[in-house]
Structure formats: C-alpha cells, structure tokens
Structure 1
Amino acid sequence: MTDLLSEVLESHGGLRRWNGFTTATATIVSGGELFAAKGLPQDPEPRRMTVSLHREHASVRPFGAPDQHTEFDPGRVAIARADGTVVAERFNPRQSFTGHVLETPWDPLDRAYFNGYALWTYLTTPFFAIMNGMAVEEAEPWTESRTERWRHLRVTFPDDIASHSTVQDFYFGDDLLLRRHDYHVDIAGGFAAAQYVYDIEEADGIRFPTRRRAYLRRPDGRPDHDHVMVSIDLSELRFV
C-alpha cells in the first residue's frame, strides 16, 4: 500500500471502520447524454442501489418495471422479479460489447451491466484499491487551477473485476478527499471521461461524494463541460 493510499483511506473513514461493513445502499438519480446515445434515455425517478463492499456484486431497483431489479456480478447480469423469477440474463456479459462504439445501441441487460459495475466502483471508492489484484501507484499530480494541485493515484484493475477500463486515475485535494476520477469507457468505444465529484457527506463514519458529473475529457485532460455524459446524485447513503 502506498503512503498516499493509506492517507486517503484514513481521510475517507479508515479501513477499520470500512471492514466492519459488508453492504452499502443509496438512493440514486441519474441522467446524462450517454444513455440517450444508447437509445435508453434515463428517467429522473429515484432508485435504490445496493452493493457488496468486499466482492463485486450490485443490484438496483426498480428496473424496467416496479417489481423488477438487477443482479450484477462480473460474470453474469440479470433482470429478475421480486419473487426471484428471472426475466432476462446474460453470462460473460463483457463479451457482448465487442465492437461497440459510442453510438451502438444498448439493450436493458447492457444498461444493467454498466450500472452494476459503475455504481459498485463509485460506492466502494477508494477502499476497493486494497482488494486482491489491484495495483496502485502514486503518479504525477494534476494542476486543476492556479490554487489547486491534486495528488494522484493510478489504479490498475485485475481481469476479474469489471469496471470502466483497466487503468483509472483518482485525484485528491489537500484534505485527501476525492475530487476527480478519470477513465475510458471501454464498453462504449473507449471514450475518455473526467468525472468530478462534489458535496462530500459522512454516512456511518464514511466520507463520500453525493454528486458526480462525468464529462467528455479533451486530449489535454481538461473536461468538456458542454457534454455531461453521466450525472449521478446520491442520497440516503447507508453502510450496514
């Protein structure tokens, strides 16, 4: 573990507290240009997201119908009813995105897969970095403005963890709290994103941003504020 990662974990609530929890739940409201480009524009209704903290598993409800929810693991994604009936499922879901570009339409299982891995990543940041197989290094700081210079962790994900891209970058302010998260969306043509986070709150001793805005990232690393690809607002966050 790098010194910076150790300090970042402590600033976000500490490993001892984190290891006492197994699950996080949050109400989410999402939107953005990505879903419209995929032919699945997002409605503004709130949904309840649940993720496991020490293995990659996630679920959101409702999904597609009031009595339906998703079931996400890296090797399987499904839509199921409250009574457990499987409406649709796909094994090895990452393979279904081969050849996709930004404008390639998604079906509901594609959307469920994206939602599952993305929200799992966000709701476990930065603590997922200590999981087996994660490679973490401190990289060059990012100069955000004349008065802000953010420290930088680069994380390389193992093959058995589904996420946006293998290599992702996380930037932290003077208080060592998350400010920005950069990645490529490999399942949507690999476009570059710069996700800014805001309004950090504390839930059960864990500090967590409650607003996320992912912009197209220009070649110089700056965000294109004219294109909000994904927006996520979180509330009622609980760790159990």
Structure 2
Amino acid sequence: MNELLASVLRAHGGLERWETFGEVMATVVSGGELLDRKAPQSPEPRRVTVGTKAQTSLITPFGAADKLARFTPSRVTVEALDGKVLTERKNPRDHFGGHDLDTPWDPLDRAYFGGYTQWIYLNTPFALALPGVTVEEETPLRQGEETWRALRVTFPPTIVSHSPVQKFFFGDDFLLRRQDYTLDIAGGGYVANYAFDLSGSNGLLIPNRRRAYLCDGNYQVLKDRLLIWIDYADIKFS
C-alpha cells in the first residue's frame, strides 16, 4: 500500500476498523450556489445511509415527507416509504450529457448527485483503499502556514464520482483537508472541497462540515463561488 495512504488510514481510525462496518448513517443539511441553480430544495435535515463496500445510498425525506431516494451507479429511484417505486432511471450518468452549471436537474438527477457525493464523502479516506482504486503521491500544496501532502486518486469505472481522477490533500496529522476534482456532470468545472471539524464516530474520524468552491483552471479558489455547503450530525457506522 502507498505509504502516505497507509498513514492517512491509521490517522482516521484504521482500515481494519472501517472494514467491520457495512454502512454509515448521518443527518445532513446542505445548500449553495450549485443546488440553487440546479434544483432548489427545502431546508429540512435529511437522513442519509450509505454502504461502505457497495456504492449505495438512501436519502429520506426526499422532496416530500413520504418519499425517499435510492441510488446505485446503474439505477436511481424515487420511492414511497413502503418501497413502491414512483419513478426510476437506469444508467443515470448518461442523462447529464451536455449539462453545464445552469442546466436544471430533475428529481432523479438530484438523487444521483446526492447519492454518489454522500457515498464518497462519508467513506473518505477508506474508500481510497477499495479494490481497483489507484493512488500515487504528488506535489504537496502550500495552504497558508501549512503544507498539505497530496494523493492523486484514480477511481475504476465501477465507482462513480465527480470525476475519475481527483486529488486528496492531508495535513501534518494525516487528516483530510481538501479534495479537488472536476464536476463532470455540470460541464467539468474545477472544484476545491474543504473538510472541517473531523470528529470520532465508532472510532473513525469523519468531517462534520464540507465547503466546496469553484476554482479557476489552476485550482485557485474563487472565494465568492461557494458551490456546495454540507453540515453533518449524528454520524454513525453500523
């Protein structure tokens, strides 16, 4: 295993501990420019459950108190609470062809985006050790008074995310600081996603806040372009 990744996994609680769990649950509140443009949503908290090994998620409520959204890379659904499928889309990634930051999303687009983002955020950095994921250390990033070491991560086709290749940055304590990617489902804009307030859940450290900013082509942050903000509470592995 890559030396930096091994240190990162230990700092966040250990891969062996994470592998004993099958899912992660959290209460989520989110907003930001991207959601305002794409699919304005009500501000109430939502409960998210994501798998650890399989890329799955469940979000409830979704659009209404009696609905939920279910995600896998190959299919998304909006369902009634009794499991009745109200609407579905197979191969949902294909539906984003030609989209840019201003292209509206329908509920299934939003379910897909929410599903894969919550899966990667709640499983980082442990998902970087899954089969088929490749990592290599790259040039560190100087941020204020700190220097953050960097991992260039390439996800296999079986794991959907913002983009196949991303960079993850870690402080001297080996804890997650930032995640860079292109937002491929919205025209490929450059994004820097900062992680804050890591705290313990079942012995594992997960960020309680994320702030994702649009960047220029050199990943210089545009501080007035907060695309997504996410606040987590009650994170629990089971």
**TM-score (ref. length: structure 1):** 0.97
Partner of 1:16: 16
Superposition deviation, residue 35 in structure 1: 1.1
Q: Does the alignment pair 1:126 with 2:150?
A: no
- How many correspondences in the alignment? 238
- Residue identity over aligned pairs, in percent, reads 51
Partner of 2:178: 180
Partner of 2:56: 57
Secondary structure of 1:114's partner? helix
Match for 2:194 among 190, 193, 196? 196
Superposition deviation, residue 208 in structure 1: 1.0
Distance in 2 (CA, whole Å) between partners of 1:225 and 1:76 is 35
* 1:44-193 equivalent positions in 2, closer than 5 A: 44-145=43-144, 147-193=145-191
Counterpart amino acid of 2:120? T
Distance in 1 (CA, whole Å) between partners of 2:190 and 2:218 is 11
Distance in 2 (CA, whole Å) between partners of 1:45 and 1:82 is 18
Counterpart amino acid of 2:12? H
Partner of 1:234: 232
Cα deviation per residue 1:189-213 (whole Å; 9 max; x = unaligned)? Answer: 1111001111111111001110000
Superposition deviation, residue 36 in structure 1: 1.4
Superposition deviation, residue 217 in structure 1: 1.2
Structure 1: 4+ residue segments shifted above 4 A: none
Equivalent residues of 1:216, 1:229 under 8 A apart: yes
Q: Which runs of 5+ in 2 are unaligned?
A: none
**TM-score (ref. length: structure 2):** 0.98
Q: Which runs of 5+ in 1 are unaligned?
A: none
Superposition deviation, residue 122 in structure 1: 0.3
Superposition deviation, residue 73 in structure 1: 0.3
The alignment yields a C-alpha RMSD, in angstroms, of: 0.8
